[in-house]
Amino acid sequence: PQFPIDNTDATISGTWTIHSTKKERLIVNQTVPDNATYERFIFAAKDSSLFLFDLGEGKGFILGIKNPLDHLEMSNIAERYKFLDVWLPDSRGCGRYTISSDGSGTWSHKSQDDSTDDGTITNIAACSYIPNMFYGKISRPSNLGSGNPLDLYFAVTNDVILHILFDPDNSNAPGVTVSYGVGVKLY
């Protein structure tokens, strides 16, 4: 989907409630694409909250993060983050982002086949239409061949980072998602 995302882009929808006696659990009723009910735990802290629902093999997941009321600035997100990610179509890995308050950064990554890669992040700026969402350019990983840097979008709460990488050079579908992942701030 294109940004900003609206309800017409949704491929999954439903409702959720907090369990009546177990306040650490959410009850999620998914109505689209099929009727399913999930009861999962949530993580809630003073400054960060998230929930993660595994929808089953081959069906993906739903990740929700609390968007802080205060709009984060570059100085708020300048940190080191460790993450897990999925590379499409079927590769997994882990890595680290280091983000500087000047809008630059570095990244390193290790894939499931033990190959490693690293590079730079440039032009990091806040999105004007989604609070606490940032974007930038990330140097192209070697597994994607030569070409322009990837488009990096990431949401940040105080301790959690969620990223999505888009490939502007994909000949079949420019702007196709090539990776997504979630991580936490390192202390």
Higher model confidence: residue 27 or residue 135?
135
Q: Which residues face 49 on adjacent strands?
A: 44
- How far from chain centre, in Å, is Cα 99? 15
CA–CA gap between residue 46 and residue 67 (Å, rounded): 12
Average pLDDT over residues 52-79: 77
Residues for the chain: how many in total?
Answer: 187
Average pLDDT over residues 162-174: 79
CA–CA gap between residue 152 and residue 137 (Å, rounded): 6
Give me the phi and psi of 116, to 5 degrees please. Answer: -125, 155
Average pLDDT, the chain: 81
The pLDDT value recorded for residue 109 is: 94
Ramachandran sector of residue 58 (left: φ over 0; alpha: ψ -120 to 50; beta: rest): left
Cβ contacts of residue 37 below 8 Å, gap of 6+? 27, 28, 29, 30
Neighbours of 162 (CB within 10 A): 19
pLDDT digits (tens, 9 = 90+) for 10-24: 566 778 788 888 877
Instruction: Give me the percent of the chain exceeding a pLDDT of 90.
Output: 33
The Cα-based distances of 159 to 48, 58, 102, 105, 144 in angstroms read 6, 28, 20, 17, 29
Q: Which residues face 41 on adjacent strands?
A: 25
pLDDT digits (tens, 9 = 90+) for 98-151: 999 999 999 999 999 999 999 999 999 998 877 889 999 999 988 888 888 999
Neighbours of 83 (CB within 10 A): 21
